[in-house]
A and B are shown apart, each in its own frame.
Chain A
Amino acid sequence: MGHSKFKEKMVHGLFFLNGLLVVLVLVGIFILLVAKALPAFREIRLIEFLFSANWNPTATFVAPTYGILSMFVSTMAVSIGALIIAIPLGIGAAAYLSDVASSRVREIAKPVIEILAGIPSVVIGFLGIVLVGPVIAKIFHLPNGLNALNGSILLAVMALPTIISLTEDALKSVPKSFEEASLALGATYWQTLVRVKIPAAASGIIAACMLGMGRAVGETMTVLMATGCSIAMPKNFLQSVETMTSTIAIELGEVPYNTTHYYALFGIGLVLFIITFAVNMIADVVLHKHQKVLK
Chain B
Amino acid sequence: MENVKIRVGDFNFYYGKAQVLKNISIDIVENKVTGIIGPSGCGKSTFLRSINRMNDTIIGARAQGRIIIDGRNIYDEDVDVVEIRRKVGMVFQKSNPFPKTIFDNVAYGLMVNGVKDKYYIQDRVEKSLRDAAIWDEVKDRLNKNAFELSGGQQQRLCIARALAVEPQIILMDEPASALDPTATLKIEELIQELKKKYTIIIVTHNMQQAARISDFTVFFMLGELIEYNITNIIFTKPAKKITEDYITGRFG
Contact = CB atoms under 8 A, between A and B. Distances in A.
Chains A and B form a bound pair: yes
Interface of A: 175, 177-188, 191, 195-196, 199-200, 293-295
Contact of B162 (A179, A185, A293): A185
Interface of B: 52, 54, 57, 82-83, 85-86, 89-90, 92, 94, 96-100, 108-109, 111-113, 145, 147, 158, 161-162, 165
B54 A185 contact: no
Contact of B54 (A184, A199, A294): A184
A185 B109 contact: yes
Nearest to A186: B86
A211 B30 CA distance: 55
A24 B82 CA distance: 57
Contact of A182 (B112, B145, B158): B112
B165 A178 contact: no
A24 to B, nearest CB: 39
Main secondary structure of the interface of A (DSSP, over half): helix
A181 B82 contact: no
A97 to B, nearest CB: 15
A12 B194 CA distance: 57
Contact of B96 (A178, A188, A195): A178
Contact of A178 (B90, B98, B112): B98
B92 A185 contact: no
Contacts of B158: 181
Nearest to A188: B82
Given A183-B85, A184-B85, A185-B85, 7 more contacts: A181-B161, A183-B57, A185-B108, A185-B112, A187-B82, A195-B111, A195-B112
A184 B82 CA distance: 8
A179 B100 CA distance: 14
Contact of B92 (A181, A188, A196): A181
B56 to A, nearest CB: 9
A193 to B, nearest CB: 12
